[in-house]
Structures are given as C-alpha cells and as structure tokens.
Structure 1
C-alpha cells in the first residue's frame, strides 16, 4: 500500500468543492487516512513550497496558498502517487484529460484546485509537514 499527499487548495475550498473532489478521490479507490482544514501563513506556504523558491511563480504560489483555507489529506492506495497524478490531470486544466479533477474544476494553471505529491519519497516528506503520526488513521 502506498501513500500520497494532496492539498485541496484555497480555490477548491472557496468554490465549495471539497465534498465533490473527495467523492471523486474515493470513487477512484483511494482511502483518506488523514485530513484537516487549515489556513497556511505566507511563511508556512513558503516553507512547504521551498523547492520552487527560485522559480518565477514562487511568490504568486505562496500568496495563493495563504489566501484562504485549504485541506491537506493523506491518501492510501496501491500505486497511490501515479494513480493520483492521473486522477487530478495536468497542472494546466486546459491540457488536462477529460474527467480529471482539474479539467472538471480548475480555472487556471495557477489556481488548479489540488496539489499532488510527485513521488513516494516526497509524499512521505510532505505528509510529515502537515500530519503527526497519531493523526494518520487507517480505516479497515
């Protein structure tokens, strides 16, 4: 069983799509093993996305991610990282496959509804950023 981290971003929360997106995630066979609603400070958002610090979009990303509440979750499934990235679609919703989360709900490349880890190693690091071990509950 593999785990991945997702964040339902501030645009998802603002558009009241939390339930719709979680429903799509669960219908795709993922189990939610940790979830919380939080509001990131600019400092915390910058720390989480620090890998992108030198990229031209970093400031805009930090501003966006700290603009409102978001919902980080740890998801569990065989092949979770790759399957989740397929489920959410391309970063730019205009390039995303039909039926993906981003194609259905995202407005732009910058406001793309959802974050998904890009590797199992990063998923573990990212999950640890948001959740303590006792907050992860496997449902049988």
Structure 2
C-alpha cells in the first residue's frame, strides 16, 4: 500500500510539472501580438489570400496545394470552404469587370465550393504567386502548381493575391478578423533566422 501511495505522489508531481511546462510552452504563450487580418507586408508576417477554385476542389487537389505551401515554410492562418454567390464572385473579381471574360469567370467561380485560405510568411504574396505559376498553365514552369496540375486557362484551379492591396481586400472580403489566427509554429525557428 505504501508503494502505491508513493507511486501516486510521483505521478501527481510529474503531472504538475508537465502541466506547468505545458502552460509555459503553449502556442498562445508564444504567439505574436495580434496582427491586422491582412498581416504586415514586407515582413515575415506578410499575408496573402489563396483560393482553390471549384475545379481544384472537384479534382481533389486541396491537400496537394496545402502541402506545397506548408513545405515552402508558409503558415496557414485561416481556412474555410465556401460556395460563393455570383455577387461574391463579382466583388472578388471587381478589378476585371471590364474584361470580356468577366461573366464567364464569375459564373465559374460561383459554380461550386472553393477553399479560401490565408497564408503568412516572408514574401508570401509574390512568393505565393510564383508557386501558382502564370495564369495560363501552358506558360507556367514545371514545379509550379499550374505548371504541374493544369492544362488550360479557364480551369487553372487556383487564385492568389497579386499585391498588398488585393491581399488586404480579399482577406477582409472572405474572412472576419476573428477567423484569422495569430499563432506561433514550433518549426518557425527552422524557417527563419530571427
């Protein structure tokens, strides 16, 4: 009986030490100060909006795309699946409203669910665009998402912000500030020097 009590005390003591260590090392304790939803352009807290379009969702490419961004070292800070209305698609692509392909683009973008994401990291906007490849997959380099996974422009599976202004607009359009998470990753020290 005495051995059981001693064992119970040791386990309880170890649990308290473990709980204290957990409390000190939780992601909340390591998280950066609250950032604006669109991040801080030009820093390792730069954020970009990436959307897997209906064709990418239907082809089951969401996991492949997420894996590529994670492997690059970018941090996922927001994610959701949503079926855009025609109005949402028109608002999203408002800068292209004078183009002859606008109606077809917004019809397609609202034809099924998309996976909307916010990624954070150094050079996330331009680096993310480079990962996507050119709008026309035929001109995209092998190794890029479109170069590897797409054939034609009308089914190029993914959208990415093209600058800080569009990133801010798109992130704020698709996500409430409470849906964008500030958190630290243990691997950040293996991605960044400081």
Question: When you count helix as a share of all residues, which structure comes out higher?
Answer: 2
Matched, 1:89 2:89: no
Paired positions, count = 140
Structure 1 stretches of 4+ with a deviation exceeding 6 A read: none
Tell me what 1:106 maps to: 150
Could you state the TM-score of these two structures normalised by the residue count of structure 1? 0.97
Tell me what 2:179 maps to: 135
Tell me what 2:57 maps to: 13
Q: Gaps (5+ residues) in structure 1?
A: none
> Which gives a bigger RCO, structure 1 or 2 (Cα 8 Å, sep 6+)?
1
Q: What does 1:36-47 align with in structure 2 at a 5 Å threshold?
A: 36-47=80-91
1:65-111 per-residue CA deviation (whole Å, 9 max, x = no partner) reads 01110011111010111100111111111100110000111231111
1:36-85 per-residue CA deviation (whole Å, 9 max, x = no partner) reads 00001111111111111110110110111011100111110101111001
The whole-number CA distance in structure 2 between the counterparts of 1:108 and 1:56 is: 17
Could you state the TM-score of these two structures normalised by the residue count of structure 2? 0.70
CA RMSD of aligned residues (A): 0.8
Question: When you count strand as a share of all residues, which structure comes out higher?
Answer: 1
Q: Gaps (5+ residues) in structure 2?
A: 1-44, 185-194
